[in-house]
Chains A and B, each alone.
Chain A
Amino acid sequence: MSAVPVSVRDATGPTVTVPRWWRGLSWRALVGAGGVAAFLVAAVLAGAVSPYSPDALAIGSRLEGPSAAHLLGTDQLGRDVLTRILYGLRPSLESGFAAIMMAAVVGVALGLPSGYFGSLVDTVVTRVLDLLVAWPAVFLALAIVLLLGTGELQVIVAIGLAEVPVFSRLVRSIAMVAARSDHVVAARAAGASSLRIMLRHVLPFVVTPLVVQFAIAAPQALVAEASLNYLGLGTHPPAPSLGAMVSEGQSFLAYAAGPIVFPILVIVALVVSLTLLADGLQDRLDPRSRIGAR
């Protein structure tokens, strides 16, 4: 096994421990993290970097190819494609993050008591989640958007809800094991309440796998966000979004490929970065690959 030891123990005295979680991060994780960081910076600095407004129309320069003035060309309304991509990153990253955050919070809120108490609580939670899982995630998201109307918030709820079962099941499985361990019995013997035990003696063991799951869910959420926007269920025009740009660009594909190809490339690059990061994090943080800390 190539796991990195967590502590170094010698026979003569107390043990020495170095915080090493950041060591042994693979090249994949570093490349992924670099890519994600670059996109984040680009989204945040969109206004400062770009000389154009994302909504500025220029009828005289429609569907132009890349040039010095418009690095990635212009779209059917003469808007700068690079500017719209930079601005379009914002809702994608925001919605994706918010959706997973929601899934994680709801997943913990359901999974923790489900795994800790077991029996009836577990049965009810599991059955309700089964109802969610029975639907393909995209159909579920579609149904929610159709039910709640279009908009960024609806997209967040739709994607978040679709991801809830994954998080809840993960938390539940860890909570089940932790709840039966001696340190939980010891806490109960000391008079701790169930709430205290769940928060102090079970939740800490959930954090690491949760981070990994967060990273795994991120690219999925991003693709889902782009898909919903592509279908016109997300942001309202003329606000830019990567998915919407792809769908708008379709009609003019015969005249110019830029408005559709560049957003797609950005989505792909972002998803690949996130996936690499998740992969690297998982290798590093997955408890099954760790020794020493049990």
Chain B
Amino acid sequence: MQARRDELPPSVDVRDLVVQFRVRAPGVGPRVVVRAVDGVSLRVGRGATVGLVGESGSGKSTFGRALLRLAPASGGSVRIEGEDVLGAGHRELRALRQRAQMVFQNPIGSLNTRMRVGRIVREPLDIQRIGDRVSRRARVRELLDQVGLPRDAEGRYPHELSGGQQQRIALARALASAPSLIICDEPVAALDVSIQAQVLEVLKDVQRATGVSYLFISHDLNVVRHLAHETYVMYLGGVVEHGPSASVFASPRHPYTRGLVAATPVADPERARRSPLLRGEIPSPMEVPPGCRFHTRCPFAEERCREEAPVLGETGDGGRVACHFWRELPREDPRAAPTRGGA
């Protein structure tokens, strides 16, 4: 099984993707080009779950949308199951959209509140002309079962259901065309913690049953750690670290990842609160700092970081990191040591 999966092209294979927008600077400035995603490569194998983490403004959502051409990519390549997405014509694109689907953060916002649940879930089948009327009905029932919604949900309107149930509807809709990949953009961020766990379990169950792979976009490291086999860390449009989730979270290499991990709340009243390692705000993507894009907030930044952009290099244990000094950084908490740089 595993061997056969490896022979197939990955669910999605992204190389050097660039997404840029032309926007007018605040005030009466000239139009400037903003690179929301700046040369990101990423791969999601069949049946795998890959996490993509970063603060708001890091470009992770834009990246997810660009994979389905819902945001305009201006460079690089995207292959879904080996087929080119960015160069696809109208008809090919529609066919490709059967194979990759999305689940959004705000469950009610991603559902048409004027449609009944049954029609919402059936719509991808209607659009893609999959099956006939009878088989579509049966498929909708099957999908509702699969995501753990009651049978009678079919005839209801989304606002009659709870947030967790709404997200299950969105998942059922995403599964309708039997895609190979589902891009989950903060799928549980809008839900209560107790509901989050339920929805995450449903995601896992569905993966076991269908072999679908997930690109799981989130700012919540606890959720990603729980679900993803591999994790990419994004900062200001670029990947700064990538590796198996276990090692990324247990021994983060990049100062940014270390900051994120240190900032993750842990339910332990004994643990002392410490001052945050990450200070300040993520810079505007209109003014990406030269050199290492993280140097303005990095407690370890040196002269070289301001001038030379580090490349994503192998760490030797399956991970990759984009930092000039990751080998030399103190293993202990940098807050114990006097901080350099700053502001």
Contacts and interface: CB of A to CB of B under 8 A. Distances in A.
Interface stretch (A40-48, A126-134, A199-207): A199-207
Interface residues of A, number: 25
A293 interface: yes
Interface stretch (A178-186, A210-218, A229-237): A178-186
Interface string B63-86: 001001010000000000000000
A14 B160 contact: yes
Contact of B70 (A15, A185, A200, A201): A185
Nearest to A178: B112
A238 interface: no
A188 B127 CA distance: 10
B173 interface: yes
Q: Is the interface of B mostly helix, strand, loop or mixed?
A: loop
Contacts of A192: 123, 127
A274 to B, nearest CB: 27
A68 interface: no
Contacts of B128: 190-191
Nearest to A204: B114
> For A15, A182, A196, A200, which residue has the most chain B Cβ atoms within 10 angstroms?
A182
Interface string A150-192: 0000000000000000000000000000000111011111111
Interface residues of B, number: 37
Nearest to B91: A191
Contacts of A294: 108-109, 113, 159
Interface string B305-336: 00000000000000000000000000000000
B162 to A, nearest CB: 7
A67 interface: no
B160 A15 contact: yes
B94 A191 contact: yes
Contacts of A190: 97, 101, 123-124, 127-128, 173, 176-177
B106 A293 contact: no
B104 A17 contact: no
Interface string A16-48: 010000000000000000000000000000000
Contacts of B161: 14-15
Contacts of A196: 127
A209 to B, nearest CB: 13
A288 interface: no
A9 B162 contact: yes
A196 B170 CA distance: 19
A266 interface: no
B110 interface: yes
A240 B279 CA distance: 80
Contact of B159 (A186, A188, A293): A293
B265 interface: no
15 contacts: A14-B150, A14-B156, A185-B70, A186-B104, A186-B110, A186-B111, A190-B128, A190-B173, A191-B94, A191-B124, A191-B127, A192-B127, A204-B112, A294-B109, A294-B113
Given A182-B106, A201-B112, 17 more contacts: A9-B162, A14-B150, A15-B161, A17-B157, A182-B104, A185-B102, A187-B112, A187-B123, A190-B123, A190-B127, A190-B128, A191-B97, A191-B98, A191-B128, A192-B127, A200-B112, A204-B114
Interface of B: 65, 68, 70, 93-94, 97-98, 101-102, 104-106, 108-115, 123-124, 127-128, 150, 152-153, 156-157, 159-162, 170, 173, 176-177
